[in-house]
């Protein structure tokens, strides 16, 4: 009897804890909806859940909802056409202009949940909101007992601010499996992203099967194995085995494209040319202006950067004066166009090592023949040739903002990454643009205290990401298709690290792209993002808690480091020590700038919230503090 009582008490405590994690789910939605009317009362799902639909086109979304409910609840779920289900999904026969193509309306009452939309996509995004209204345990991959599966009464009206809500996944620097790409899609749709930019080729690997060019994957998909700090790796030795890498077969591509389509995600393929092409050159060295030899990069330095420009350390470019290149690209884009239904193909076009073109007799001859004044016009010539190839496949061209150099091809769209400038220039010329400025959306940048993160050349705190506004002043909003977060994976060898860099910063960008500008509020968002953390944990999704790390700035004060601390998340208290012990909330609390005495070896910091430690222990050496003070 005693054991039964203890077991019952434990089960009740578990239920209370899980429900407490849930809180008022209506106030925790990310991205924030256009309009929410909160009402008194809750609707509780019965142990047998019926989902009804008004039309056959709604059936696939309803089945996805049934699957999402069945696993963690353990309830029997079914889908049928008709009325009267606990969840009723309605495709409108007369268009509701207040919600557009991807919007939805949701009503929750004692009778159940009704989601209405103009399209199945709208129903799908309504489903994502519905799942966020359920307790955290809805993310579990196994049955969770003793949960009250309830959602609050409400009326919600919602639609996206932008039609292009993208995330870029670089699978070239490191190869990620088909299953991991699917998981990437599963994670992004929870926050209403609808565009996957798939970066399929680069110096470190060619990841897409091109049947007419088999060497691209036989040779270009593999490199020598190197581990450790990125860009700290040596070049391949002669005849060193190339065992690291992988690629997607065309059947793999078709499977992922279909998987994405079922979740209302469009895939934009990127074939990065004329730069970033070492993997292609390793397979077909005759495509270069130079004789080579060429190896798939193992992560070594390939470019020197300096104020106002760059130059290549090695030639990783296709030769714009070589007609074999255009025949090669015709074969590539023929097969790419057949695999991806989307109207655009991304050609890259960024960071070309033009210093090698400047030395090429072939390029000099081309310039004379085509009356090209400089290397910018050489790149523009290449882009126009690629555009002709892509257009011939029934597709449109999009590229990084370097394709503006020397004059933009007639029908091309621009993805503006070097700030907003390129996008503004393209829009003023009447071209469509996607805003993806590095200083707001590069998710591979350090997101917290640099001393405990993988070293990258720049920092992007979540609060900065949340400031992203895709439409600059003075630009025709109709030409801005939307925005995108970019995740380059030079330093991300494992998928868990991919998730760590995405979340929660990608939540901030999701709200910038879905929610109305006037609804954005940092303090509201950060509270709602924190409420998503238990959901990520329940889904076994790794995420960063860098928002709890103190933001440290240092300056010199009479020869000693003076440390000023700011915080991103509200409600944090920072405690510190300078005597080599570990701080807790009984140590010194930060209230004003700290003058670190010369005898100290480390300044150690720890953030607390509501009396509990959060974030990471930060330990900054005296040498590090002085270095920052002098920068």
Of 373, 395, 417, which residue sits at a domain end?
395
Considering its fold, how many domains does the chain have in total?
Answer: 3
* pLDDT for 231: 67
Domain extent for 624: 546-630
Tens digit of each residue's pLDDT (9 = 90 or more) over 317-355: 999 999 999 999 999 999 999 999 999 999 999 999 999
**Is 351 among the catalytic positions?**
yes
Q: What is the domain-level CATH number for residue 593? A: 2.60.40
Residues 148 and 249 in one domain: no
Residues 251 and 110 in one domain: no
Residue 300 lies in a domain: yes
Residues 144 and 210 in one domain: no
Of 380, 395, 410, which residue sits at a domain end?
395
Residues 250 and 124 in one domain: no
Residue 459 lies in a domain: no
Residues 380 and 248 in one domain: yes
Tens digit of each residue's pLDDT (9 = 90 or more) over 425-454: 999 999 999 999 999 999 999 999 999 998
Residues 123 and 227 in one domain: no
Question: Of all residues in the chain, what percent carry a pLDDT higher than 70?
Answer: 96
Q: Residue 3's pLDDT band (boundaries 50, 70, 90)?
A: very low
Residue 318 lies in a domain: yes
Residue 15 lies in a domain: yes
291 exposed, middle or buried (CB, 10 Å; 0-12, 13-18, 19+)?
A: exposed
Tens digit of each residue's pLDDT (9 = 90 or more) over 278-313: 999 999 999 999 988 999 999 887 788 778 778 888
Tens digit of each residue's pLDDT (9 = 90 or more) over 83-106: 999 999 999 999 999 999 999 999
The pLDDT mean for the chain works out to: 94
Range 404-433 average pLDDT: 94
Residues 234 and 126 in one domain: no
Of 395, 412, 447, which residue sits at a domain end?
395
Q: What is the domain-level CATH number for residue 80? A: 3.30.379.10
Range 18-24 average pLDDT: 50
Tens digit of each residue's pLDDT (9 = 90 or more) over 189-213: 999 999 999 999 999 999 999 999 9
Range 503-525 average pLDDT: 97
- H or E stretch at 380: helix 375-392
60 exposed, middle or buried (CB, 10 Å; 0-12, 13-18, 19+)?
A: middle
In angstroms, rounded to a whole number, what is the distance separating the alpha carbons of residues 283 and 296? Answer: 9
Cα 302 to Cα 173, 275, 278, 401, distances in angstroms: 13, 11, 10, 21
Catalytic one of 102, 204, 351, 511: 351
Residue 488 lies in a domain: no
> Helices 323-339 & 250-262, crossing angle to 10 degrees?
50
Residues 123 and 254 in one domain: no
Question: Of all residues in the chain, what percent carry a pLDDT higher than 90?
Answer: 88
Residues 128 and 210 in one domain: no
Tens digit of each residue's pLDDT (9 = 90 or more) over 471-480: 999 999 999 9
Q: Is the pLDDT of residue 155 over 70?
A: yes
Tens digit of each residue's pLDDT (9 = 90 or more) over 527-543: 999 999 999 999 999 99
Q: What is the domain-level CATH number for residue 285? A: 3.20.20.80
Residue 540 lies in a domain: no
Residue 538 lies in a domain: no
Q: Is the pLDDT of residue 617 over 60?
A: yes
Q: Is the pLDDT of residue 5 over 50?
A: no
Q: Which long-range contacts (CB under 8 A, 24 or more apart) does 298-301 make?
A: 298/204, 298/223, 298/224, 298/225, 298/226, 298/233, 298/234, 298/235, 298/236, 298/244, 299/173, 299/204, 299/226, 299/230, 299/231, 299/232, 299/233, 299/490, 300/231, 300/233, 300/234, 300/235, 301/231
Task: Report which of 305, 317, 324 is spatially closest to residue 279, judged by C-alpha positions.
Answer: 317
Residues 288 and 390 in one domain: yes
Residues 129 and 226 in one domain: no
Residues 214 and 340 in one domain: yes
Residue 164 lies in a domain: no
């Amino acid at each position: 009897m005693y054991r039964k009582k203890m077991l019952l008490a434990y089960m009740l405590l578990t239920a209370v804890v899980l429900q407490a994690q849930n809180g008022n789910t209506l106030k925790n939605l990310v991205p924030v909806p256009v309009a929410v009317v909160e009402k008194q009362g809750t609707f509780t799902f019965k142990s047998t859940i019926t989902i009804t639909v008004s039309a056959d086109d709604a059936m696939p979304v309803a089945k996805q909802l049934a699957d999402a409910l069945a696993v963690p609840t353990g309830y029997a779920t079914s889908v049928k056409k008709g009325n009267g289900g606990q969840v009723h999904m309605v495709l409108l026969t007369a268009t509701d202009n207040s919600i557009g193509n991807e919007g939805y309306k949701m009503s929750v009452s004692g009778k159940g949940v009704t989601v209405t939309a103009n399209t199945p996509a709208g129903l799908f995004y309504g489903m994502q909101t519905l799942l966020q209204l359920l307790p955290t345990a809805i993310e579990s991959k196994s049955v969770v007992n003793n949960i009250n599966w309830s959602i609050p009464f409400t009326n919600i009206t919602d639609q996206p601010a932008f039609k292009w809500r993208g995330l870029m996944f670089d699978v070239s620097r490191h190869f990620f499996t088909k299953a991991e790409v699917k998981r990437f899609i599963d994670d992004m749709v929870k926050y209403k992203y609808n565009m996957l930019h798939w970066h399929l080729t680069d110096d470190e690997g060619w990841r897409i099967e091109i049947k007419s060019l088999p060497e691209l994957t036989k040779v270009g998909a593999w490199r020598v194995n190197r581990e450790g700090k990125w860009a700290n790796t040596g070049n391949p030795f002669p005849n060193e085995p190339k065992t690291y890498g992988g690629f997607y077969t065309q059947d793999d591509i078709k499977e992922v494209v279909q998987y994405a389509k079922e979740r209302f995600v469009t895939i934009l393929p990127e074939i990065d040319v004329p730069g970033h092409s070492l993997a292609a050159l390793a397979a077909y060295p005759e495509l270069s202006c130079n004789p080579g030899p060429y190896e798939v990069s193992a992560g070594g330095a390939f470019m020197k950067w300096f104020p106002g420009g760059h130059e290549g350390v090695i030639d990783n470019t296709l030769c714009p004066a070589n007609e074999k290149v255009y025949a090669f690209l015709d074969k590539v884009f023929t097969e790419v166009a057949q695999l991806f239904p989307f109207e655009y193909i991304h050609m890259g076009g960024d960071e070309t090592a033009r210093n090698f073109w400047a030395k090429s007799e072939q390029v000099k001859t081309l310039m004379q023949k085509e009356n090209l004044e400089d290397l910018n016009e050489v790149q523009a010539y290449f882009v126009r040739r690629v555009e002709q190839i892509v257009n011939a496949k029934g597709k449109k061209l999009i590229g990084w903002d370097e394709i503006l150099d020397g004059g933009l091809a007639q029908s091309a769209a621009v993805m503006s990454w070097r700030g907003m400038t390129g996008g503004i220039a393209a829009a003023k010329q009447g071209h469509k643009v996607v805003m993806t400025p590095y200083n707001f959306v590069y998710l591979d940048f350090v997101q917290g205290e640099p001393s405990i993160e993988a070293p990258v050349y720049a920092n992007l705190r979540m609060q900065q990401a949340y400031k992203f506004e895709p439409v600059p002043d003075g630009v025709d909003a109709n030409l801005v298709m939307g925005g995108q977060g970019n995740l380059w994976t030079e330093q991300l060898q494992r998928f868990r690290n991919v998730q760590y860099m995405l979340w929660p910063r990608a939540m901030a960008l999701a709200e910038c792209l879905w929610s109305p500008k006037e609804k954005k509020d940092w303090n509201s968002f950060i509270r709602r993002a924190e409420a998503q953390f238990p959901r990520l944990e329940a889904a076994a999704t790794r995420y960063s808690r860098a928002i709890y790390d103190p933001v440290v700035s240092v300056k010199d004060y009479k020869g000693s480091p003076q440390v000023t601390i700011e915080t991103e998340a509200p409600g944090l208290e920072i405690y510190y020590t300078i005597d080599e012990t570990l701080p807790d909330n009984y140590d010194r609390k930060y209230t004003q700038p700290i003058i670190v005495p010369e005898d100290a070896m480390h300044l150690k910091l720890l953030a607390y919230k509501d009396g509990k430690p959060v974030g990471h222990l930060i330990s900054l050496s005296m040498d590090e503090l002085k270095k920052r003070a002098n920068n």
